[in-house]
Structure 1
């Protein structure tokens, strides 16, 4: 009788131990899952975004509208592909989302600093994205009109001046860049080459057209985080189009959005 009671007691103890282990395992798993779900990561996710038919409409407005020339109805579709970014520096995806994205070949996991460098604010990057979109749209319109035989004279202009940058307080948005160190500026690559190859001996003499009058400013470029000289301006082309063409794709931004 005593032997039987010992075995029964031992069996109950074993069941309690198993229950405790199971409970501990479940709690540990739940806690780990919760931590992974809440803990921010140093990564963002790139994935395919929505597509837009440039021959159609966005928000009940035509993507392409033309005035000043004969236009024709188009058949079929011409879709623009976009890329969506999941997360922001202040609100990154959690580790579970990152893990699922790593397992999905249609998505890419990228470090935050790749899209949001430490020396730039989120607002600056968004402004730059909008400016790049505008530049791309203008370039796309110019390419189409040139193909049709129209002439499209252009000038290099400043779309935005980054706060506290080298050009801040000297150059302003809307300035047309005429020359740097007496060298006439005809395209963006030329301007970039002059700035990045600065010899640091004397400030750059930048001549701009500001509201119809020439203004000269002395600007010393500053190195960015990668060691490249920058003026701290966002530049693009302003074209003198013979007809009016408007493009709108909602809140799509970036350098290739208009092409």
Structure 2
């Protein structure tokens, strides 16, 4: 056998061994890829309106206001192999990130999924509040118990879903009011919570204990602000989690509640968290979301200001990036876009 043939044989064997090792070696990384994108003005996979409004006049819409998602492979329950990670690093539409970026070491995959589900629910509620805030439609808030800490005074007395209406006889309508009123108590003091459960008002006298820092008085309840809307808004998107669709939900609700189509038939996609006051926040996976949007047909992409720098570096051809700081600003930018005006905030 010639030296060349021997070298080729040895090299082939080494490549084969590396392939076997690479396909068997699991690595603690996650591959992020472009996920599905859905038109908030359209229907879900069951053929039902993705956003339905009852009890208020709505108007015809057209075009697209798509929210975007990211899918992933890997994680503690099914890690990717070394070759998959290497292919992802070389691929233009995939990001390979450390596993703990998606799955913190102190949380189980189930807990992460639950958090993502909760984040989506909060995002929908914030989107509804932001849209109504933009339209100057009054919205009231209520304080609801999200969780009970085991072994704390509230354990066995209060339940998840109870609505807190007063503390020490003083009406409360926000979490900050409850936290502020509780903070006025010394550790070991007693306080009285008035709450409703199943439509019935009840009271609970609880003795406060120290929080983990040992500095604040608490009773062991996790609270969230929820909103009472003057009409019903249903958002049905299926098994999708996370808070990043908030901006697009708000825009779709605004579009349905105001005369004339917001997009004028254009295909606009985007991403961004939303606060009840209409502030747009950053998200993860901006590159994958832009790719998904462009593949779906979008020509404009609403981008949170804090994501603009990264987005500008990876912008797909044919996709115009529009900076979105607030819901109000996003509406103004879309109006300028559809009118053919040039003064549109851009990502640079």
TM class by smaller structure: 0.7 to 0.9
Matches within 5 A, 1:158-197: 158-160=145-147, 172-177=159-164, 187=174
CA distance 1:210–1:85, change in 2 (3 Å): farther
TM-score, normalised with respect to structure 2: 0.56
For 2:130 and 2:116, the matched residues in 1 are separated by: 21
Q: What's the CA shift for 1:214?
A: 3.1
Aligned to 1:8: none
SS in 2 for 1:154: strand
Q: Structure 2, unaligned stretches of length 5 or more? A: 248-348
**C-alpha distance after superposition, 1:20-67 (max 9, x if no partner):** 554443232112112212221111122322111000011111110111
Quote how far apart the aligned CAs of 1:154 are: 0.8
Once the 2 structures are TM-superposed, how far is the Cα of residue 135 of structure 1 from its aligned partner?
A: 1.0
Q: Which residue of 1 aligns with 2:52?
A: 65
- Do 1:161 and 1:173's aligned partners in 2 also have CA atoms closer than 8 Å? yes
Contact 1:136/1:256, CA 8 A, preserved across alignment? yes
CA separation in 1, counterparts of 2:4 and 2:226? Answer: 75
Which residue of the partner structure matches residue 134 of structure 1?
121
How big is the alpha-carbon RMSD for the aligned residues of Structure 1 and Structure 2? 3.8
Q: 1:35 to 1:18 in 2, by over 3 A?
A: same
Given candidates 38, 41, 44, the residue that maps to 1:55 is: 41
Structure possessing the higher radius of gyration over alpha carbons:
1
Establish whether residue 39 from structure 1 lines up as the match of residue 28 from structure 2. no
Paired position in structure 2 for 1:7: none
CA 1:170–1:23: 2 relative to 1, 3 Å:
farther
The answer as to whether partners of 2:192 and 2:203 remain within 8 angstroms in 1 is no
Partners of 1:135 and 1:237 within 8 A in 2: no
| Contact residue 28 and residue 75 of structure 2 kept, 8 A | no
What's 2:137 paired with?
Answer: 150
Quick one: structure 1 residues 69 and 204, their matched pair in 2 at CA, closer, same or farther if it must change by over 3 Å?
same
**In the alignment, which of 224, 234, 237 is matched to residue 236 of structure 1?**
224
Aligned length: 237
| Alignment partners' CA distance in 2, 1:110 and 1:94 | 13
Q: Is it true that 1:25 corresponds to 2:46 in the alignment?
A: no
Aligned to 1:99: 86
Do the aligned partners of residues 36 and 158 (structure 1) sit closer, same or farther apart at CA in structure 2, a change above 3 Å counting?
farther
**Cα–Cα, structure 1 residues 192 and 110, in superposed 2: closer, same or farther, change >3 Å?**
farther
* Deviation of the 1:88 alpha carbon: 2.2
Indicate how the Cα distance of structure 1 residues 101 and 202 shifts in structure 2: closer, same or farther if over 3 A, else same.
Answer: farther
